[in-house]
Amino acid sequence: MENTTQIQNESSPESATAPAGDLSFRAVSVRVSPNSYLIAMLVASFFSAFVFYLEIDWLGFTLFAVAWLVLPVLALTDHIVFDGRRVTRAGLVPRIWAWLNTGRRSLKLNDIEQIETAAIRALKRGGDVFYRYRTSVRGKGIQIAFASGGDDYRRMVTAILPRVAEIVLDARSIEVRDHLADPKITQQRARDEQIPSSDVLSVATRGIRTNALIEPREIDAAEAERAESLRKLANELRLNGFLRQSLEAFRRALMIKPHDGRLLFEFARCVQSFAGAERSDRLERKAIAAMRLAEMRARNDGDLLEKIGEAYFQAGEWRRAAGAFQKALDRVGEGFRSARGLAEIALREGKIAHVIHHFSTANRLAATPSLRRWTRAEAEYFSRLNSDDEYMEMEVGRVNLLETFENVKRTALRLTFLGFPAIFIGIIGEDDLVANLGWGISTVTLVIWTSLTVASRLFSARIPYELLDQED
């Protein structure tokens, strides 16, 4: 099922970018991804069949009705609404959950601490990749997430992302904000630029070069405008999954401006995406080489160096990421993204004192109250870990317990599926012993999996260190 956005009262594109608080803004809504509801339907259906097998018909009919009547209605009515001022999780389930745990289900724009977007390769068709984007909005202890599925997602991100400070957005969210466009319009622009289809370009992309030495030359205004147009088109093609056409558009742009650091960086991101789609280590190395070339051409562009550092970090090149962040610090001075990036690298390396230092720096440089609140909380958390052995032991125990839960959940799920053949064989062959064995294995393991799923959510939050102070 795709997420479906509804524009209440037929909102116009202009209203989606209106300033917060503008009365002309029409609320935008998007249905929540139904994955959790689908899992709940499958679990309820299994237990319905189990109690029917036990001849408890009334309970079986009840569970069946819940699985196939109640849960679909709840899924259809569970959606996220943005009214220009706050993002709200609407629907019966979030209302009940917020009432039970006295939590929040809405988040003001000023309270947003982080917006992160993940890209998942959902389908590969020929030379093109279908990406599914999932954007998470976090702040004040809650997270609201919505996924792509058509015009719905584009309208939602068009409404929200331009309204928040760029420092709140991660690199992919910035790309989505700036370059995610209607794929039909993007393909029409590619045809206008006479960029061949992906099938025609399949041979050309095998020889991607990142180290071609092209002498810089003076370009006129018309050439600069064409290079910028090709750059924008290339990014739109990349985000829509037309990677081979995107590489061709980048190649043409680089022929005009071969020493443009930002263009080289965006080209490297495209090669990196293509490497992931092709599962090619060779292309991955070429992407890193192109990124290194972009780093060399960045000069005193601190914003670009920070983005390069974040891209290195995502690729697992932590040492290069630290080098890029340090260059940004040396050339343009302290920056929030550099401090936050160095804190995350120090955390991966287990240098808690460095983590505290960099988060404290990020707190001092934070441009919004929400970021100051988040970085202060991070610095205090790691400071407590560093100074309180008892708290450190409790947190390590919690993390280890979560890892144990995940391992047991995977094992329980495998055993649940292993019980299904025994159920079918026992029912078809009228062998009660085999059927009972299958039902017993699948039921017990599914109960374990469900219990651990709930427990994982309960233990995912950090232990409040105020709890230790009260005990003392």
In this structure, are residues 424 and 366 in contact, taking their beta carbons and an 8 Å threshold?
no
Q: Angle, to 10 degrees, between the axis of helix 369-387 and the axis of helix 389-428?
A: 100
Domain membership of residue 453 (yes or no) is yes
Distance CA 207, CA 14 (A): 43
Counting as low any pLDDT under 50, the low residues of the chain are: 1-21, 203, 207, 211-213
Give residue-wise pLDDT tens across range 182-192.
Answer: 999 999 999 99
Kindly report the CATH number assigned to the domain that includes residue 286. Answer: 1.25.40
- The single-letter DSSP state of residue 34 is T
Query: Same structural domain for residues 150 and 24?
Result: yes
Taken in order 367, 368, 373, 374, the sign of the CA dihedral is: negative
If asked whether residues 87 and 125 sit together in one domain, one would say yes
pLDDT (tens digit, 9 = 90+) per residue, 336-372? 999 999 999 999 998 999 999 999 999 999 988 999 9
* Nearest 10 degrees: Cα torsion 356, 357, 359, 360: 110
Residue 27 lies in a domain: yes
In-domain check, residue 37: no
Q: Give the pLDDT confidence score for residue 202 in this predicted structure.
A: 65
**pLDDT attached to residue 197:** 82
Torsion of CA 110, 168, 459, 405, to 10 degrees: 150
- DSSP, residue by residue, 221-233: HHHHHHHHHHHHH
Residue 292 forms part of a structural domain: yes
Asked if 308 and 265 touch (Cβ cutoff 8 Å), the reply is yes
Residues 127, 274, single domain; the answer is no
Residue with tokens 């998470």: 136
**β partners of residue 86:** 108
Same domain, 105 and 20: yes
Q: How many domains does the chain have?
A: 3
User: Is there a contact between 174 and 26 (Cβ–Cβ < 8 Å)?
Assistant: no
Within-domain flag for 86: yes
**What is the predicted pLDDT for the residue at 17?**
41
Strands 106-108 and 128-139: unpaired
Rounded-to-integer distance, Cα 411 and Cα 405, Å: 10
Burial of 195: CB neighbours in 10 Å, binned 0-12, 13-18, 19+: buried
pLDDT at 173: 94
Same domain assignment for residues 118 and 147: yes
100 and 187 assigned to the same domain: no
Please state the pTM of the whole predicted model: 0.85
Q: Same domain, yes or no, for 150 and 192?
A: no
Whole-angstrom Cα distance, residue 159 to residue 470? 44
Of 356, 354, 292, 346, nearest to 322 (Cα)?
346
In angstroms, how far apart are the furthest CA atoms of the chain?
84
| Domain-terminating residue out of 155, 179, 203 | 179
Same domain flag for 20 and 119: yes
Q: Is residue 431 part of a domain?
A: yes
Considering the domain architecture, whether residues 150 and 16 belong to the same structural domain is answered as yes
Report CA-CA distances (Å) from 55 to 52, 78, 424, 428: 5, 34, 17, 18
Residue 61 resides in a domain? no
40 part of a folded domain: no
The two three-digit tokens of residue 108, written as one number? 């003001």
In contact, 164 and 109? CB cutoff 8 Å: yes
Query: Which one-letter amino acid corresponds to residue 62?
Result: T
Write the DSSP assignment of 37-105 as a string of letters. Answer: HHHHHHHHHHHHHHHHHTT-HHHHHHHHHIIIIIHHHHHHH-EEEE-SSEEEEESHHHHHHHHHTT---
> What does the pLDDT read at residue 468?
65
| Domain closes at, from 162, 179, 196 | 179
Same domain membership, residue 169 and residue 202: no
173 shares a domain with 189: no
Same domain, 115 and 196: no
Q: Please identify, among 262, 297, 332, the residue that sits at the C-terminal boundary of a domain.
A: 297
| DSSP letter assigned to residue 208 | -
Domain span holding position 417: 390-471
